[in-house]
A and B are shown apart, each in its own frame.
Chain A
Amino acid sequence: MSNIYAVTGNEAVANALRQINPDVCAAYPITPQTDLMQRFASFVSDGLVDTEMILVESEHSAMSACVGASAAGGRAVTATSGPGLALMWEILFVASGMRLPILMPVVNRSLSAPLNIHGDHSDAMGARDSGWVQLWSENAQEAYDNTVQALLIAEHMDIRLPIMVCLDGFIISHSIERVEYLDDDIVKNFVGTYKPQNPLLDIQHPKSIGPLILPDLYTEYKRTQHEAMSKVKNIVLKTADDFAKISGRKYSLFETYRLDDAEIGIVILNSAAGTTKDVIDIYREKGIKVGLLKPRLFRPFPYEEIRETLQHLKALCVLDRCDSFGAFGPLYTEIASSLYLSENKPIMINKIYGLGGRDYMPEHAKIVIEELIEIANTGKVKLFKDYLGVRE
Chain B
Amino acid sequence: MSEMLEVRWHGRGGQGTVTAAKVFADACLSGGRYVQAFPEYGPERAGAPLKAYNRISSQELRMHCPVLNPKIIIVADPTLLDSINVTEGAPDDAIFIINSSKDPSIIRAKLNVSKKQKVFVLDATKIAIDSFGRPMPNSPLVGALARVSGAVSLETILEDVKKSFGKKFAKKIIDGNLEAAKRGFEEVKEG
A275 at the interface (CB under 8 A from B): yes
A362 CA to B25 CA, complexed, in Å: 23
Interchain CA distance A170-B53 in the complex, whole Å = 14
Of all chain A residues, which has the CB nearest B66?
A359
B29 at the interface (CB under 8 A from A): yes
Which single member of B39, B63, B64 contacts A172 (CB below 8 Å)? B64
B38 and A178 contacting across the interface, CB-CB below 8 Å: no
For chain A, give the interface size range.
Answer: 20 to 34
Q: Which of B45-103 contact A (CB under 8 A)?
A: 61-66, 68
B63/A275 in contact, CB under 8 A: yes
A357 within 8 A of B: yes
User: Which residue on chain A has the smallest CB distance to residue B54?
Assistant: A176
Closest to B62 in A: A274
Residue pair B38, A272 in contact (C-beta under 8 Å)? no
Q: Is B138 an interface residue (CB 8 A)?
A: no
Cβ-defined contact, B64 with A176, below 8 A? no
Complex interface: chain B residues within 8 A of A139 (CB)? 62, 64
**CB-CB nearest in chain B for A271:** B64
Q: How far is the CA of A266 from the CA of B61 in the complex (A)?
A: 20
Distance, CA A243 to CA B29, complexed state (A) = 25
| Chain A residues, Cβ within 8 Å of B30 | 1
B25 near A6 with CB under 8 A, answer yes
Q: Is the CB of B64 within 8 A of A362?
A: no
Residue of A nearest to B25 (CB): A6
> In the complex, which residues of chain B have a beta carbon less than 8 angstroms from the beta carbon of A272?
64
Query: A361: which of B32, B33, B39, B65 is its contact (CB, 8 Å)?
Result: B65
Closest partner residue, chain A, to B21 (CB atom):
A176
Q: Give A1 to B63 CA distance when docked, in angstroms.
A: 23
Q: Which residue of A lies closest to B37 (CB)?
A: A176
Q: Does A360 contact B (CB under 8 A)?
A: yes
B36 near A362 with CB under 8 A, answer no
Q: At the interface, yes or no: A314 with Cβ under 8 Å from chain B? A: no
Quick check: A274 and B22 within 8 Å, CB to CB? no
Across the interface, which residues of A come within 8 angstroms of B41, CB to CB? Answer: 118, 170, 174, 357
B6 adjacent to chain A (CB < 8 Å): no
For the complex, what is the distance from the CA of A116 to the CA of B33, rounded to whole Å?
A: 34
CA distance A5 to B41 in the complex (A): 22
Alpha-carbon distance between A274 and B64 when the two chains are bound, in angstroms:
7
Minimum CB distance partner of B36 in chain A: A177
Q: Are the CB atoms of A362 and B61 closer together than 8 Å?
A: no
List the 6 closest pairs (A to B, CB-CB), nearest first.
Answer: A274-B62, A175-B38, A176-B37, A271-B64, A6-B26, A6-B25
Q: A176-B21, A278-B62, A361-B68 are in contact. List 10 more A-B contacts (CB 8 A).
A: A5-B29, A171-B64, A172-B64, A174-B41, A177-B61, A178-B29, A275-B63, A277-B62, A360-B64, A361-B65
